[in-house]
Structure 1
Amino acid sequence: MYSEIRLDDIDRGTKWWELLSEAERWEWFAKVGTTRPADAWDAFKRSRRRGDFREPELQLTEDLRRGMEWWKSLSEEERAEWFARLGTHRPKDAWNAFKRSHGYVDRDNNQRRQGN
């Protein structure tokens, strides 16, 4: 049987995991070398204790580079529209929604559907 402290930790880990995007989850999996959310949660807690904060180290992929260029090209009003439409304040979410709206389908949404 789990202690109350352990149950609280599991609850906090579950909530943290649910707030991550799919891309962020895969970043944590890559960082810890497993596909277990519990391992990612443990790595997150260790990184906070060391003062690293929450994000794993990111590799600048072609998709991230394209997303940053797209975001920089938007006006403040356009950025606000994306945030309002999605109910988020994360440029990554807006970039992924933009790609989906333009027919991109692979994991990084860089490959377009046939016929687009």
Structure 2
Amino acid sequence: MSYSEIRLDDIRRGMEWWEALSEAERSEWFAKVGTTRPADAWDAFKRSRRRRDSIEPELQLTEDLRRGMDWWKSLSEEERAEWLAKLGTHRPKDAWNAFKRSRGCVDGDNNQTR
């Protein structure tokens, strides 16, 4: 099998894996990898399998991450795109931290104001 055939097979398997996930599982993988790219989640899943870890995300959801996920889910697609474009990122985590800063909160899990 050539490299391109192996790569295409990997992409196909990744797409099948992604389609089989629930929305909650997808959100967990996005939180784990810090992006909204399914390919990043697939790569993290493969790494976890190679390490013989469970398929649970390595990152434990802190209260701050839970609030960030709730905030992100509450935004419309247009609002999400605006945050990401404004920051020049594709990571919802970056948008959440910027949102907190815009409200006078310090980055981190405590969300204390300055």
Q: TM-score, normalised by structure 2?
A: 0.50
The structure that has the greater radius of gyration is 1
Q: TM-score, normalised by structure 1?
A: 0.49
